[in-house]
Copies of this chain bind each other. A is one copy, B any other.
């Protein structure tokens, strides 16, 4: 009987399908005693399936940004800049980190500019300033996101001159990082006795 890996390789050739990142995929079949070739072909095709398009990811991210904006709004002004738990940064500082990433990162990707990012460029002292900048960056993100081609999403780019990843991974990282820090913000709000907005509320 031919070894498992050889059967898979033949199928790759027959299907003209790329499974360069096949680690998880193949482990699904390694313990199987019956090898169903049709099933393997279907699995390989599914592995290459398009999950979502650029516009859907942009809407998804902007939905998260709408929610983060609502979390910023929910903080009393003094707690936004001053409240913290366990030595972590106050929520205003986290919002500034997010502002220093989103728009500037997309600009860097589109213009292939590897300049370092700068969290010190914008020094607001009021909630209103942060919210105004937030809305400005919403437009910057829309504008630059739409300029990323299908090929670019899979290309590696050295973001800010120090984070070398495929573009799609960098963008997922921006969204994940925002959710992560906003999760901190939820705990701050609860600790302050303030009801945070619903997690599933994403409309502006």
Query: Are B193 and A49 interface neighbours, CB within 8 A?
Result: no
User: How many Å lie between the Cα of A57 and that of B43 in the bound state?
Assistant: 15
A111 at the interface (CB under 8 A from B): no
Q: Of B64, B175, B190, which contacts A87 at CB under 8 A?
A: B190
Query: Are A46 and B54 interface neighbours, CB within 8 A?
Result: yes
User: How many Å lie between the Cα of A187 and that of B84 in the bound state?
Assistant: 10
Tell me which residues across on chain B come within 8 A of A88, comparing CB atoms: 187, 190
A118 at the interface (CB under 8 A from B): no
Known: A24-B142, A28-B143, A64-B176. A148 touches B46 (CB 8 A): yes
Query: Are A43 and B146 interface neighbours, CB within 8 A?
Result: yes
Nearest-CB distance from A152 to chain B (Å)? 8
Query: Are A49 and B150 interface neighbours, CB within 8 A?
Result: yes
Query: Are B168 and A51 interface neighbours, CB within 8 A?
Result: yes
> Interface residues of A toward B: which range?
35 or more
Stretch at the interface among A72-80, A100-108, A127-135, A177-185: A177-185
Query: Are B55 and A86 interface neighbours, CB within 8 A?
Result: no
A33 at the interface (CB under 8 A from B): no
A85 at the interface (CB under 8 A from B): yes
Known: A19-B55, A52-B168. A62 touches B24 (CB 8 A): yes
Determine which residue in A27, A28, A53, A87 has the highest number of CB atoms from chain B within 10 A of its CB, and name it: A53
Query: Are A54 and B47 interface neighbours, CB within 8 A?
Result: yes
User: How many Å lie between the Cα of A153 and that of B51 in the bound state?
Assistant: 6
A22 at the interface (CB under 8 A from B): yes
Q: Of B42, B183, B188, which contacts A182 at CB under 8 A?
A: B183
Q: Could you mark each residue 16-41 of chain A with 1 if its beta carbon is under 8 Å from any beta carbon of chain B, else 0?
A: 00010111110110000000000000
Query: Are B180 and A186 interface neighbours, CB within 8 A?
Result: yes
Q: List 11 A-B contacts (CB under 8 A).
A: A46-B54, A47-B55, A48-B53, A49-B148, A49-B150, A85-B191, A86-B189, A177-B199, A180-B183, A183-B186, A187-B187
3 tightest A-B CB contacts, nearest first: A183-B183, A86-B190, A49-B150
